[in-house]
Structure 1
Amino acid sequence: MIIDSLENAKKYYSVHPRFAQAFGYLKSQDLNAMEPGKFPIDGTNIHASVSAKDGVSVEDAKFEAHNNFLDIQVCISASETMGWSTRSLCNDPKDAYNPEKDVIFFNDKPGMYFELKAGQFAIFFPEDVHAPMIGEGLIKKLVVKVRKD
């Protein structure tokens, strides 16, 4: 997992071959003006979605991981608390892995929580289990999905 602000995005271009393009897309957008929806960036390799939803309680947050995509989750407005744990410590799956949605949910609880403010992002790799959208009121965010290989 990586946590930082968009102003430092260039530091992470070398972490993955598609990160320069993914962060380039983020920098080219007026994030505040983006409406909720899905946005193709590079075929099946990179795509984004914007959501604006009410936050959930810690108890109601979905604890999830992905096998084939990395998430770059950007807080656009308000603040968002997220839970995190390494996947090696999560051993109580809620359901079987869903290959169509590239997601598996866990009954385990996060080992830690952190807060993102507007303009900050978190990158989650397949070994990161995360619980997004924790907070009160409307949370607007953008998630860029980057194929891992």
Structure 2
Amino acid sequence: MIIDTLQNAAKYYSVHPLFAKAFEYIAGIDLAAIEPGTYEIQDGLKAIVSDKPGRAREESLQKFECHRQNIDIQVCINGNEEIGWKPLERCVADKGGYDEAKDVQFFGDHPDTYFTLTQDQFVILFPEDVHAPMIGEGSIKKMVIKVRV
């Protein structure tokens, strides 16, 4: 997991071949004006924008998730988003196995830690990062860039 601000994004271009393109896409659009929806950037790279009310921790934990085929770059556009996190190797309460079609696996475990993203901050969540997003009060506008592993 990596947490940083968008102004430092170039530091992470070398981590994955598609990261430079992902962060260039983010820098090249008006985040405040982008509408919710799914945006195809290129093969192996898409953006999902949402603007929804935050959830309570317990509600978010219903979808304590990780992915095998994608890395998430989650960008907070507006609001304060708390995210729960735990390393995959410490999760033991599988909730139904891995869904390959949706690239998601849910767990009944509880996070080891919580952190908060504010405007123009991002987190990079790798397949070994189990996470519970969208915790908070009020509206949270965010972009999730799905980067194929």
TM-score bracket, shorter-length normalisation: over 0.9
Q: Which amino acid aligns with 1:34?
A: I
Partner of 1:93: 94
4+ runs deviating over 4 angstroms: none
Partner of 2:73: 72
Residue deviations 1:29-65, cap 9 Å, x none? 101100000000112x000110011111111112100
Q: Which amino acid aligns with 2:41?
A: I
Deviation at 1:91, TM superposition (A): 1.2
Q: Which amino acid aligns with 1:29?
A: I
Q: Find the aligned partners of 1:46 and 1:109 in 2 and give their Cα distance.
A: 30
Q: Which amino acid aligns with 2:33?
A: A
Q: Name structure 2 gaps, 5 residues minimum.
A: none
Partner of 1:40: 40
Q: Which structure carries more strand by proportion?
A: 2
Q: Name structure 1 gaps, 5 residues minimum.
A: none
Partner of 1:106: 107
Other structure's SS at 1:9 match: helix
Q: Does residue 4 of the first structure (1) align with residue 4 of the second (2)?
A: yes
Q: Find the aligned partners of 2:32 and 2:98 in 1 and give their Cα distance.
A: 33
Q: TM-score, normalised on structure 2? A: 0.97
Partner of 1:24: 24
Deviation at 1:143, TM superposition (A): 0.2
Identical-pair percentage: 55
Other structure's SS at 2:3 match: strand
Q: Kindly tell me the number of residue pairs found equivalent between the two proteins.
A: 147
Q: Find the aligned partners of 2:42 and 2:96 in 1 and give their Cα distance.
A: 30
Deviation at 1:71, TM superposition (A): 0.1
Deviation at 1:132, TM superposition (A): 0.3
Q: Does residue 51 of the first structure (1) align with residue 41 of the second (2)?
A: no
Deviating more after overlay: 127-136 vs 94-103: 94-103
Q: CA RMSD in A?
A: 0.6
Other structure's SS at 1:33 match: coil
Q: Find the aligned partners of 1:97 and 1:47 in 2 and give their Cα distance.
A: 21
Q: Find the aligned partners of 2:17 and 2:143 in 1 and give their Cα distance.
A: 20
Partner of 1:133: 134
